[in-house]
Structure 1
Amino acid sequence: MQLAGPWVMGPPADRDGAIAVLREAVSRGITHIDTSEAYGPRVTNELIREALHPHPESVQVATKVGANRDAEGGWPTARTPDDLRRQVHSNLESLGVERLDLVNMRMGDATGPQPGSITEAMETLVDLQREGLIAQLGVSNVTAEQVTEARKAAPIVCVQNLYNLANRWDDALIDELAADGIAYVPFFPLGGFTPLQADALTAVATRLAATPMAVALAWLLQRSDNILLIPGTSRVAHLRENIAGAAISLTEHDVAVLDSIGV
Structure 2
Amino acid sequence: MCGIAGLFLKDQKLAPELGGLLSGMLEALSDRGPDSAGFAVYGDGDNGQIKLTLRAAPSFDFAELMASLGKLAGAPISYQVHDTHAVISIPTDREAAVASALVGMKDVDMVARGKRMAVFKEVGLPADVARRFGLNAMTGTHAVGHTRMATESAVTTNGAHPFTTGTDQCLVHNGSLSNHNDVRRELIRQGMTFRTENDSEVAAGYISSQMAAGASLQDAMTSSLSALDGFYTFVIGTETGFGVLRDPIACKPAVMAETDRWVAFGTEYRALVDLPGIDAAKVWEPAPARVYLWERH
Q: TM-score, normalised by structure 2?
A: 0.32
Which structure is higher in helix share? 1
Structure richer in strand, relative to its length: 2
TM-score (norm 1): 0.34
- Structure having greater relative contact order (Cα 8 Å, sep ≥ 6): 2
